[in-house]
Chain A
Amino acid sequence: MKIKSPKDFWAGLMFVGTGLFFVVWAVTNYQMGTAVRMGPAYFPTVLGGMLTVLGLIIMLGSFAIQGEAVAKFHFRPLIFITLGVVLYGYLMKPVGLILATGALVYVSAFGGHEFKWKEVTILFVILAAFSYFVFVKGLTLPFPICPSFIENCPIR
């Protein structure tokens, strides 16, 4: 058996894996109930089963029908964009809006094609100022501005 359509094979595998996970987790952790009074496990089990079957059909098809290879993954943007965004979320409370914006801008810019310190720094200053004036001053979102260890924040 040879995989003729790798895209379909991996997509099918993803669906089978997800479907089975939902079925197994639902059956072992929640009550099934009956068709009249469905328990919490009923709907996810049915859907998980459907997804598994659909995934299997897609996987089987990948052995029969010719298809394309999976396009190359570009890990640089994937990692830096995701990391930048997540850092922003987790840095907001401890270090405040300004530095969190800096983390997001520098890290995500590193995921692009070219990275010039000067350009990115200018961008950071503009975006930090914009965020502060529009979101904190204008829309009164309750974000901390400075790191929490600075007691008297010069910017309010």
Chain B
Amino acid sequence: MEIIHNLVLGFGVAITPINVLYCFIGVILGTLIGVLPGIGPVATIAMLLPITFNLNPVAALIMLAGIYYGAQYGGSTTAILVNIPGESSSVVTCLDGYQMARQGRAGPALAIAALGSFFAGCVATLIIAVAAPPLAEVALKFGPSEYFSLMVFGLIAATVLAHGSLIKAIAMVVFGLLLGIIGTDVNSGVLRFTFGIPELSDGIGFVIVAMGMFGTAEIIGNLELKDKREIFTSKVTHLYPTLQDLKDSWGAVLRGTALGSMLGILPGGGALLASFGAYTLEKKVSSHPEKFGKGAIQGVAGPESANNAGAQTSFIPMLTLGIPSNAVMALMIGALMIQGIAPGPQVMNEKPELFWGLIASMWVGNLMLVVLNLPLIGMWVKLLTVPYRFLFPSILVFMAIGVFSLSNNPFDVLIMGIFGVLGYVCVKLECEPAPMILGFILGPLMEENLRRAMLLSRGDPFVFFSPSKPISLAFLVASAILLVIVALPNIRKKRDEAFAAEEG
């Protein structure tokens, strides 16, 4: 039983006191910042990335993963208590979670969210352990044309899942790809689009772009709104769900876990689509669909389990293919590269302790979330009562320190400011920043693989479609099908409805 051997190796790494400590710090910091409204997991991880620079790769990754779950969980807490989703994947949690809180059942809502997430986390950890090795085997056989087509598929999937206009999302991807070109061309050594600025010769740092687009832009956007928050602080009294609650929600947890695990693997999907799909599913299978939106516990249990499962299985493409399926995974890849590890299928064989240690620490992190967060909910609630006028300068200080410390260069901070303005403009024009970020990360990889594939095929563009490359062909066909499906008027309407519900 190789899998047991591997998991034992993983737990051996993850349960060493020092790694448990880093996991603990990560979960606490992640929750702390994830609870703050308007700061999602991407900004949280970007902000905290610099504190992992001095750690060894295993500890750094374990801590970042902890930050990720913490931020996810913190997002749900704000969704339930304040009706402000801390991040996009907890949008649907607002619908029923907040209603439960208004009925004085914030405690059970938070508890079921935590327990459902924990169950989903356990299952997803197992899925990764089982699915990752064979996938990595396949990935090792990938040539440049397969990689290129896979990335095309990933980017298309990301645009389909972005909300709003499809064509704008595609344009944002291309915009991101173009920004990714800035820097030294690896093939010719030519400096492209650097305009004589030496700092640009290594390209623009991904962390800086993410912090600008998701961090400062968010804060500017939040400051437009007046501070009007209604918090049910006094009402979080009894935490534990009743037996009836558990009976009502276990089915939802199971379904959410299954759906989330599947959707999480899809590029561009991850937690967002998972929580969304789970809510719709629960409403469909429920015998009392009219209760949804009025405090149905299934409406919290399903999406929360799904988004945690999805958040975790989205590690699969990152770990096996070296391709990020969402912005969070892109940051993880950035962190790996800073540690001197090239992400990809070879990591599993070359650094088994890193790979399996990370997987085992996912489970440890999930356990910590339950053990720590349920008792600490009172503290997170207190944090929510801090007025935004104290929070936002503090967040800015941490972001600025984080970016400055990347290379002790004020230019990086300037770039973050510029991307903050760009992010704000994009939000005003209803252009989603998430597809752009994915394009930005994949840009250099795509160009590299395109060039290699074309060189190998002697300039024949049909190499991507040829029957001798079935995997590449399959990815491209799948991308085309996705595009056609979304363009169909019927499905388009459904998709718009789904996203409209999200905004409501």
Chain A residue at minimal CB-CB distance from B224 = A74
Interface size class of B (residues with CB under 8 A): 35 or more
Against B, the Cβ 8 Å flags (1 = close, 0 = not) of A50-75 are 11001101100100000010110110
Against A, the Cβ 8 Å flags (1 = close, 0 = not) of B404-443 are 1100101111101100110011001111000000000000
Chain A residue at minimal CB-CB distance from B410 = A89
Chain A residue at minimal CB-CB distance from B395 = A108
Contact B178 A113 (CB under 8 A): no
Q: A11-B429, A30-B190 are in contact. Are A81 and B413 (CB under 8 A)?
A: no
Q: A18-B175, A89-B404, A123-B393 are in contact. Are A82 and B459 (CB under 8 A)?
A: no
Contact B174 A50 (CB under 8 A): yes
With A and B bound together, what is the CA distance between A111 and B392 in angstroms? 10
Against A, the Cβ 8 Å flags (1 = close, 0 = not) of B81-110 are 000000000000000000000000000000
Q: A10-B429, A44-B178 are in contact. Are A36 and B393 (CB under 8 A)?
A: no
Contact A135 B401 (CB under 8 A): yes
Say how far A86's CB is from chain B's closest CB, in angstroms: 5
Contact A44 B220 (CB under 8 A): no
Chain B residue at minimal CB-CB distance from A50 = B174
Chain B residues near A70: list those with CB within 8 A.
Answer: 428-429
Chain A residues near B408: list those with CB within 8 A.
Answer: 142
Q: Is the CB of B171 closer than 8 A to any CB of chain A?
A: yes
Contact A113 B429 (CB under 8 A): no
Which segment of B32-40, B162-170, B244-252, B302-310 sits at the interface? Answer: B162-170
Say how far B415's CB is from chain A's closest CB, in angstroms: 9
Chain B residues near A152: list those with CB within 8 A.
Answer: none
Q: Is the CB of B288 closer than 8 A to any CB of chain A?
A: no
With A and B bound together, what is the CA distance between A103 and B270 in angstroms? 39
Contact of A25 among B193, B392, B394, B424 (CB under 8 A): B193
Chain B residues near A105: list those with CB within 8 A.
Answer: 393, 397
Contact of B181 among A14, A37, A43, A84 (CB under 8 A): A43
How many A-B residue contacts, CB cutoff 8 Å? 185
Chain A residue at minimal CB-CB distance from B416 = A85
Against A, the Cβ 8 Å flags (1 = close, 0 = not) of B148-164 are 00000000000000000
Contact A22 B193 (CB under 8 A): yes
Contact B397 A127 (CB under 8 A): yes
Chain B residues near A88: list those with CB within 8 A.
Answer: 397, 400, 404, 413
Contact A35 B459 (CB under 8 A): yes
With A and B bound together, what is the CA distance between A85 and B402 in angstroms? 12
With A and B bound together, what is the CA distance between A10 and B427 in angstroms? 12
Against A, the Cβ 8 Å flags (1 = close, 0 = not) of B15-46 are 00000000000000000000000000000000
Against B, the Cβ 8 Å flags (1 = close, 0 = not) of A84-112 are 11101110110000000100110011011
With A and B bound together, what is the CA distance between A84 and B54 in angstroms? 28
With A and B bound together, what is the CA distance between A2 and B177 in angstroms? 32
Say how far A140's CB is from chain B's closest CB, in angstroms: 8
Q: Is the CB of B287 closer than 8 A to any CB of chain A?
A: no
Number of interface residues of A (CB under 8 A): 70
Q: Is the CB of A77 closer than 8 A to any CB of chain B?
A: yes
With A and B bound together, what is the CA distance between A61 and B166 in angstroms? 13
Which segment of B335-343, B350-358, B448-456 sits at the interface? Answer: B448-456
With A and B bound together, what is the CA distance between A105 and B168 in angstroms? 36
Q: A90-B410, A93-B410, A108-B393 are in contact. Are A54 and B167 (CB under 8 A)?
A: yes
Contact A54 B429 (CB under 8 A): no
With A and B bound together, what is the CA distance between A55 and B167 in angstroms? 9
Contact B413 A113 (CB under 8 A): no
With A and B bound together, what is the CA distance between A51 and B181 in angstroms? 14
With A and B bound together, what is the CA distance between A47 and B440 in angstroms? 12
With A and B bound together, what is the CA distance between A22 and B176 in angstroms? 12
With A and B bound together, what is the CA distance between A47 and B429 in angstroms? 21
Within 8 A of B (CB), among A9-30: 10-11, 14-15, 18-19, 22, 25-26, 30
Contact of A11 among B416, B430, B450 (CB under 8 A): B430
Contact B424 A78 (CB under 8 A): yes
29 contacts between A and B (CB under 8 A): A7-B428, A18-B175, A22-B181, A22-B193, A30-B185, A30-B192, A31-B188, A43-B447, A43-B451, A50-B174, A54-B170, A58-B171, A74-B220, A78-B421, A81-B396, A81-B420, A85-B413, A85-B417, A89-B404, A89-B412, A89-B414, A104-B397, A111-B220, A112-B389, A112-B392, A123-B394, A135-B405, A139-B50, A141-B405
Name 9 extra pairs, CB < 8 A, besides A35-B459, A109-B393. Answer: A7-B428, A11-B168, A57-B167, A58-B165, A78-B424, A85-B216, A85-B396, A140-B54, A141-B50
